[in-house]
Structure 1
Amino acid sequence: MQRDPMTLHARYAWTNSEHPGLTRLRLWWDGDLPRRFPQVVSELPGHPLVLGYAGIDDGLRHVLPFLEERRGGNAAAIRRWHSSVGWDRLERGAGPADCDLLAVGTTARRAARLPDDRSLLLPFRLHLVVPVVADATEMRRRISRKERQRTERQFRLRDWSVETSMSDADFDHFYDAIHLPTMRLRHGASTRSMDKDMARACLLRRGMLLFLREGDRRVAGMLCRYGPAPDTLTLRLAGVLDGAQEHYAHGALAALYPALIDWASRHGVRRLDLSGCEPFVSKGIFQFKRKFHPRVELPRTHFRDKRLWLSVRRDTPAVRNFLVANPVLAEDPAAPGRWQALYFHDAERPPRRSLPWQCPNVTAARDIDLDVFLHGARPVGARRTLRETR
């Protein structure tokens, strides 16, 4: 039995609303309400890097799984130790003592009071947004040439076609046979997604489905939602049929992105939000979606005023390896709305410039010497790095 639509919409709005009043209420709940916060230490047997997370609950769904993924190894072997912590201890920088790298998720106001030394202050989440014009030819031209040529070739070779739908039957097929299997096969025990009743009530009823057909089969799909402005479309859920690797290998899911951009340009969409990601250049979603020439933006939800404080607790080779392997995106303090990529390095570890950063409003990259960052006379964080490491 489907649940009460009003309840589903209220739950959806708590996380996803862009209404100023509701976002302020959510920030009060996450930042100003006196309470204790979850604190987790993550260990992987045989791996030297011990991760820690503390702060708002959203970080347990977004930040910590990403850090664990980037650490590598068998996800099923991860051991987490759970406790709680008061904000007064976090403000003194006194998170769990038994981790090497600590991430704290909190509001921007509180994050500004955290210690500067050996730390970075980053956005909690970023969105990748494609500005859309009515000229479909111009929109295709903005997609990377390599991606555009590969997609066009696959459409010809595999006789692909695109269709849209808003029917409940097609939604059931998308959710049960495409989206959920994809999430389970990609993320296993850490799978997270919107439940089916909420997706039907809050996404399908205010959006549309886009399918990629191969013959008589729908081999990939996306569920998008309009709003709050009528010319804004946000990609929310996606996947390939049965989560099968063969469809990934053929580029079925990747092909839906240029198809979605083309559809948007022809149907009055002027702002296409390709959804969010963590503020790391090494994030696979960022590397893939930057091919479609998006702007990097702060979310318009409560995440806009939340920050991620990343603190080095112990200077170890494993910590240095992690920082070098995972460059970050930080807002340029001299030019709000513009972003810069920060690449760590030291004498033994060159900056990982093989990871590209270029987007319309990611305007530069900076190299950060780990010896200065960890032991310099003046602390270097994302709040100061852009001026002090030139």
Structure 2
Amino acid sequence: MLIPRPVAARPVFAWRTSSRPALVRTRVAWDDARLRRATSVRSTIGGSLTLGYAGLPEGASHVVPFMEERAAQGAAVHRTTRTVPWADALEPSGVDLMAVGAPAERIGPLASAHDLVLPFRIELVVPVVPDVAAMRARVSRKERQRVARQRRDLDWALESATDAADFDWFYEHVHLPTMRRRHGPAARSLEREIAFRCVFRRGFLFFLTEGRERIAGMLCLFDPQTRTLTLRLAGVTDGAQAHYGTGAFAGLYVLILEWAATHGVRAVNLSGCEPFLSKGIFQFKRKLHPRVVRPADHFGAKRLLLRVVRDTPAVRDFLVANPVVAETPDGALEAVYFHDDRRPARRDIRWEGTGLSAARTTHLDSFLHGASKEGSPSVSVC
């Protein structure tokens, strides 16, 4: 393998992901300072809904694409992105539903009783006990039975790989093809050099094998101080849809949890996602009964304000279809479901088994009191 030239991979990775309090404080202060000029996004979806976002640029690459995807349902999306002064970003024109992403200290003064304050991101963490049967029992019964059947019928096994050539093969033939297939031009990933130096060299690379063939892989970072294994990069071989059909991803998660139980791991961090219960990866990982927590890195000190500017049928449809993970006044995390007289709460989008403090259902007529009605002038966001 031709090892990439060292170009400060570790400082860059630490700046992005470190949970050391001093570095987290420095990163959050830097983020707050750069909000003198904020990222401002306006997305028009199918002529029926306009989404707005203001704040840190990470929201434009994480939160906005998710909201667009959930709102569009195949409709055309037209997005414009600008960098403008913070005050201007908070007063978009013609927006129906607004999200603001910033450090918690900036979000607090903006929030009203009719806003939702969400974590900027959430992480899903599985506590580990040194008992393989107990870890297997954490998995939902249906998924557990499916994985057991596939292990028997397809000869599934877990391989731990350590050679640089194994990393090369995983990155080129498993991870990148999967990202391209699932996300297309919007695919995001950890740069190759950083993945090699900061994760592979400090963690574990696992493959799910079917007989002699590698069909899925997971690159994990290990923190020896907390004994936490964090899943960083993943994929199925060649991004092949057939491997999803056999449940290879679920099988890999289950086998890694079993491995963790016998190798002194105290927690498996399944990584993070946006704070919406409707996020597909949230519902998939929920089957492993993780605890939903705020990230320990700089994202844990940031919040997402969600505000309805105009009360329209499309806004109501979006809120009902996408229950959220929100903060309570005392700082706990809870599931929030919306409904109205025509739209029942989507309690089929489950929250149970995730360690959230509770779930509440809110009538939209009450929540949207104060938002302008469709056809009325928009109200200011601040």
TM-score by length of 2: 0.93
Q: Alpha-carbon deviations, 1:65-105, whole Å to 9, x = none? A: 11111113448x53211222322345xxx431222111111
In the other structure, the counterpart of 1:266 is 262
Q: In the alignment, residue 14 of structure 1 is paired with which amino acid? A: W
* Contact preservation (8 Å) 2:286, 2:354: no
Unaligned runs of 5+ in 1: 378-390
* Contact preservation (8 Å) 2:111, 2:117: no
Is 1:29 paired with 2:30?
yes
Please give the alpha-carbon distance, in whole angstroms, between the structure 1 residues aligned to 2:310 and 2:211. Answer: 56
Alignment of 1:33-44 (within 5 A): 33=34, 35-44=36-45
Is 1:88 paired with 2:54?
no
* Contact preservation (8 Å) 1:296, 1:359: no
1:325 aligns with one of 303, 321, 326 = 321
Q: Alpha-carbon deviations, 1:209-252, whole Å to 9, x = none? A: 11011122100000000116251110001000111110000111
In the other structure, the counterpart of 1:78 is 77
Moved more, 171-180 or 220-229: 220-229
Secondary structure of the 2:82 match is: strand
Shift of 1:295: 0.7
Alignment of 1:181-192 (within 5 A): 181-192=177-188
Please give the alpha-carbon distance, in whole angstroms, between the structure 2 residues aligned to 1:97 and 1:220. Answer: 46
State the aligned residue count. 370
1:346 aligns with one of 323, 327, 340 = 340
Q: Alpha-carbon deviations, 1:106-126, whole Å to 9, x = none? A: 000000011415421110001
Please give the alpha-carbon distance, in whole angstroms, between the structure 1 residues aligned to 2:35 and 2:154. Answer: 57
Please give the alpha-carbon distance, in whole angstroms, between the structure 1 residues aligned to 2:35 and 2:246. Answer: 51
Secondary structure of the 1:219 match is: strand
Q: In the alignment, residue 48 of structure 2 is paired with which amino acid? A: P
* Contact preservation (8 Å) 1:166, 1:207: no
Please give the alpha-carbon distance, in whole angstroms, between the structure 1 residues aligned to 2:142 and 2:198. Answer: 36
Q: In the alignment, residue 63 of structure 2 is paired with which amino acid? A: V
Is 1:9 paired with 2:5?
no
Identity over aligned pairs, percent: 53
In the other structure, the counterpart of 1:385 is none
CA RMSD of aligned residues (A): 1.8
TM-score by length of 1: 0.91
Unaligned runs of 5+ in 2: 372-382
Please give the alpha-carbon distance, in whole angstroms, between the structure 2 residues aligned to 1:14 and 1:286. Answer: 26
Secondary structure of the 2:8 match is: helix
Q: In the alignment, residue 85 of structure 1 is paired with which amino acid? A: V
Indicate how the Cα distance of structure 1 residues 127 and 34 shifts in structure 2: closer, same or farther if over 3 A, else same. closer
Shift of 1:166: 1.8
Is 1:110 paired with 2:110?
no
Shift of 1:10: 1.1
Secondary structure of the 1:62 match is: helix
Q: In the alignment, residue 165 of structure 1 is paired with which amino acid? A: A
Shift of 1:197: 1.1
Question: Which runs of 4 or more aligned residues in structure 1 lie more than 6 Å from their structure 2 counterparts after TM superposition?
Answer: none
Q: In the alignment, residue 370 of structure 1 is paired with which amino acid? A: L
In the other structure, the counterpart of 1:205 is 201
Please give the alpha-carbon distance, in whole angstroms, between the structure 2 residues aligned to 1:290 and 1:33. Answer: 35
Alignment of 1:87-236 (within 5 A): 87-89=86-88, 94-116=90-112, 118-227=114-223, 229-236=225-232
Secondary structure of the 1:69 match is: helix
Please give the alpha-carbon distance, in whole angstroms, between the structure 2 residues aligned to 1:9 and 1:172. Answer: 19
Secondary structure of the 1:258 match is: helix
Moved more, 325-334 or 229-238: 325-334
